[in-house]
Structure 1
Amino acid sequence: MKERIYLLPKEGNFYKANLHCHTTISDGKLTPEQVKEEYQKNGYQIVAYTDHKKYCPHPELNSKDFLALAGLETDINEIRPGKERIRTRMFHINFYDTNPDEMPEEKARYCAADYWNYDLSYVNSYIKKMKKLGFLASYNHPYWSMQNYDEYTQLEGLFAMEIYNHGCELDGLYGYNPQAYDEMLRSGKKIFCLASDDNHNEYPFGHPLCDSFGGFTMIKAKELTYPAVMKALEKGDFYSSMGPIINSLYIEGNELVVETSPVQKIYVKMEGKNCYMKVAPPGERIKEARFTLTGREGFIRVACRTEKGNFANSNAYFLEDIPIDFTTE
């Protein structure tokens, strides 16, 4: 039997997470407690509270079946006299605290300051400082932020970026950013991808413009504890989705094996514009695909799509980092 290399860990449990959330602490309409209640009703075990420029951990919300991740969203905006805010570019970055018990006073002081220097060297120095304080940095909604390749590919120190932001998708079809993720990867950035809600809850649940429960990240961790979940995030033991489920992802010999919930298409994207694919016949769905790897793919990442157009995306895996022997059959 050929050895299996698990890209998503074999051991552990999947936990459903919303990693971008706003509450009444900033510009959201629900309290942190209400967010917990509603997300638990919809099958979530994890919410990262990322209020705008408000670092406010919520350990009181933690329980055996729910984990509140401490974080914030920082926005660094372009200031141009006479230019409307809706026409200005801005860096929005989520920061997730890997250990809220360390340096709480310094974190609260540094995170509460206003930063308006729209300059890449400054933005990168800010990310570097936050990393030293123990935060993971994720770049948010590049399309909505009106940024281009020359800007976001120069960001340094990121662990991830949003490939899907549900709130931005509802705002103006700005939410799905697979091209930006591929451009990051092709520029040499070995980062992961997240799907999130970015919920503000301006509209009631059930309304077609409600920005909850549209994008989520499935984190595979040994247990639902803060250290275990943060370790899984740092390692990339997760995938992002708008609905489809990736049950298993591994390499057996030189074959990539993908097991999913029923979907219409399973694609393997890579460094070049070529890709591997398995597509269901009209009226049918597929749940498994095998693809032979050659070693020339550069990186691989799986994208699954349902007939309704909802995607699940794995993180990218660079073949140079995976011990595959392509010299044997």
Structure 2
Amino acid sequence: MYIDPAGARWFKGNLHTHTTNSDGRMDPSDCAALYRARGYDFLSLTDHWKISETRTHESGILLLSGTEYDFGRSAAEGIFHIVAVGYREDPGIVRGRDTPQSCIDKIRAAGGLASLAHPAWSLNTLDQLLPLGGVDYTEIFNSTSDLPHNCRPYSGETVDLLAARGVFWKTAAVDDAHWYDGDECRSFIYVRAEECTEEAILRAMRAGAFYSSQGPRLSVRRDREAGTVTADCPEEDGVKRLVYFTDAAWTNHRSDTAEPGKSLTSGTFALTGRETFVRVEAVDGAGRYAWAQTVRVK
């Protein structure tokens, strides 16, 4: 947890994790203790088709209920992995009977958040995704989908393609840890909440009060009068570049880069009037990213 200059509290968590309860290589209790030792405030153990409960682990970390459900066997027909987090009761998903959409609906009816996992890894197309309703967030980065085990960890292009068509899903970076050889404790979210409880974390996430990171802290604000979107980051976090993603073609100044030996503390993108959204990413000197939520400007 950190406190920003305005006094807001930001809690650190990972919403996609596997243990020996399914195909992960670490015991659930050891996993919880590991994440707590690395400074995490909350964690969801989302083993495949396994129901879990919200509780506080003996290490002090908040464990949110979680499950991963999968549908489809080929990219052509559509592979959909839906992660449920924070449900109050078993959503009652039935393998072979439910669909991705009914899965999402049941998760939300049970009080949970429904996430579309790793769309780049799944090779999800817009035709497959646009019909889905009720997605609370999708994964912009998935650690285990990166090398050495996979090679499609980043789903920013999917997020932007959806936004260009008026579909603004919130985004979260997650580990989806299986191997515990570097896919753990790497990608996470910071949630702005009054306290680290299930109710407060879920309420903040539904409001979009969170962003994703691998290290750098990042805040983004829009100035409607000035027609700008500005990103701020602490100097001590060593951010070397800020990148501005939009759907407006032929737009200059899509990034700010620090001078040699220095770090960025802010950067500004001037709106042209042609874009419908701006999405900001930051990268530090070690190649670690932070991803802000997409800012809708039209």
- Name the TM tier (shorter chain): 0.7 to 0.9
CA contact (8 A) 1:88 1:146 kept: no
Query: Equivalent residue for 2:203?
Result: 231
Query: Equivalent residue for 2:277?
Result: 299
Pick closer, same or farther for the CA change 1:36–1:267 going to 2, 3 Å. Answer: same
Query: Equivalent residue for 1:219?
Result: 191
2:53 is the alignment partner of 1:46: no
Q: Out of 162, 167, 170, which is 2:139 matched to? A: 162
CA contact (8 A) 1:76 1:116 kept: no
CA contact (8 A) 1:78 1:116 kept: no
How far 1:195 moved relative to its partner?
A: 0.4
- Once the two structures are superposed, residues 279-311 of structure 1 have per-residue CA deviations (whole angstroms, 9 ceiling, x without a partner) of 112343212223344554312221112244322
- Once the two structures are superposed, residues 13-40 of structure 1 have per-residue CA deviations (whole angstroms, 9 ceiling, x without a partner) of 1111111011122122222211111011
2:159 is the alignment partner of 1:181: yes
Q: Distance in 1 between matches of 2:130 and 2:241?
A: 29
CA contact (8 A) 2:245 2:254 kept: yes
Q: Distance in 2 between matches of 1:249 and 1:87?
A: 37
How far 1:60 moved relative to its partner?
A: 4.7
Pick closer, same or farther for the CA change 1:28–1:154 going to 2, 3 Å. Answer: same
Q: Out of 91, 94, 97, which is 2:80 matched to? A: 91
CA contact (8 A) 2:164 2:276 kept: no
Structure holding more helix per residue: 1
CA contact (8 A) 1:77 1:90 kept: yes
**TM-score where L is the length of structure 1:** 0.79
Count how many residue pairs are aligned between Structure 1 and Structure 2.
287
Q: Distance in 2 between matches of 1:236 and 1:225?
A: 17
Q: Distance in 2 between matches of 1:194 and 1:306?
A: 19
How far 1:240 moved relative to its partner?
A: 0.7
Higher relative contact order (CA 8 A, sep 6+): 1
- Matched to 2:38, the amino acid is N
Q: Out of 114, 134, 137, which is 2:95 matched to? A: 114
- Once the two structures are superposed, residues 74-108 of structure 1 have per-residue CA deviations (whole angstroms, 9 ceiling, x without a partner) of 101237xxxxxx9985211111125x2xxx3xx26
CA contact (8 A) 1:62 1:68 kept: no
Bigger CA drift: 252-261 or 186-195? 252-261
Question: Over the residues paired in the alignment, what is the CA RMSD in angstroms?
Answer: 2.6
Q: Out of 39, 52, 65, which is 1:70 matched to? A: 65
- Once the two structures are superposed, residues 86-132 of structure 1 have per-residue CA deviations (whole angstroms, 9 ceiling, x without a partner) of 9985211111125x2xxx3xx26x14x31377xxxx32233123222
Q: Percent identity?
A: 29
Query: Equivalent residue for 1:267?
Result: 243
- Matched to 1:69, the amino acid is L
CA contact (8 A) 1:12 1:223 kept: no
How far 1:235 moved relative to its partner?
A: 0.8
**TM-score where L is the length of structure 2:** 0.86
CA contact (8 A) 1:9 1:237 kept: no
Unaligned runs of 5+ in 1: 1-7, 80-85, 204-208, 321-329
